[in-house]
Amino acid sequence: MPRTSHESPTWSNPQLSLCGFALRGVEPPRAVVCDTQVHGAESHRVYRSPGARWPENPEAGDALWTSDPDLPVAVRVADCVPILLWSPEPRAVGAVHAGWRGTAADIVGASLAFARRELGVEPSRVFAAIGPCISRDRFEVGPEVVQGLKATGLTDEDLRVVLGPRGRPHVDLRSANRALLRQAGVPDAQIEDVGGCTFSEPTRYDSYRRDGERSGRMRATIALAARP
């Protein structure tokens, strides 16, 4: 992807052939994605079968992992939180889609547990990047959302709960997922927030809350490079 078409964490390096969050209107590279994202906590491992040029997309889910080099995995977002994960050793990458329901289901914790079980990934070695998503200032919710997120063990401090101008709570999904990454064992120093509010920057990002059914979707994509 051209440098101007996406945003990447500073930890992206030549060990990764792709790593970034595409901007609005950018044609993303080919990648494995879930046909349907269901705002749940199911993860999939993807790989090329012998003789197959490309794996089939999983039917449904919200997180993908692979240890195959040059096989990009991706999630689609338009306000939800995209999270890219990289384990340098053992080599593996993951892409996670975390809306408020996925956050309440601790999708990042479930996905890291899946990667440890399936790929031997240790969360303490993982680098994480939290991409552009809806900001707290723009994310007005009902009290049931706050309670659902707190059921995961998140605190008011983790959620950065405030009352908005209409007297309804606002929560910070970016902060919530950072807390869940730490809770899963990823060191805070290895979690990077790429930033950007999807709702507030229409020239850069798609936003479902802003544009409704007319909204497009952006991709968060990551792939391992082939070993030299």
Give tens-digit pLDDT for 94-123: 999 999 999 999 999 999 999 999 999 999
Q: Are 113 and 184 in contact (CB under 8 A)?
A: yes
Location of structure tokens 């969050």: 21
Q: Are 192 and 128 in contact (CB under 8 A)?
A: yes
Q: Domain ranges in the chain? A: 6-45+58-221
The tokens describing 86, both together, are 């990289």
State the pTM of this model. 0.96
The tokens describing 105, both together, are 């289901």
Three-state DSSP state, 148: helix
Instruction: Report the alpha-carbon distance of residue 121 to residue 112 in Å, rounded.
Output: 8
Instruction: Report the alpha-carbon distance of residue 84 to residue 5 in Å, rounded.
Output: 17
Give tens-digit pLDDT for 46-75: 999 888 889 999 999 999 999 999 999 999
Location of structure tokens 């990009």: 72
Residue type, 110: A
- Fold observed for domain 6-45+58-221: CNF1/YfiH-like putative cysteine hydrolases (3.60.140)
Location of structure tokens 């999939």: 44
Per-residue pLDDT of the chain (228 residues; tens, 9 = 90+): 334 588 999 999 999 999 999 999 999 899 999 999 999 999 999 999 888 889 999 999 999 999 999 999 999 999 999 999 999 999 999 999 999 999 999 999 999 999 999 999 999 999 999 999 999 999 999 999 999 999 999 999 999 999 999 999 999 999 999 999 999 999 999 999 999 999 999 999 999 999 999 999 999 999 999 987
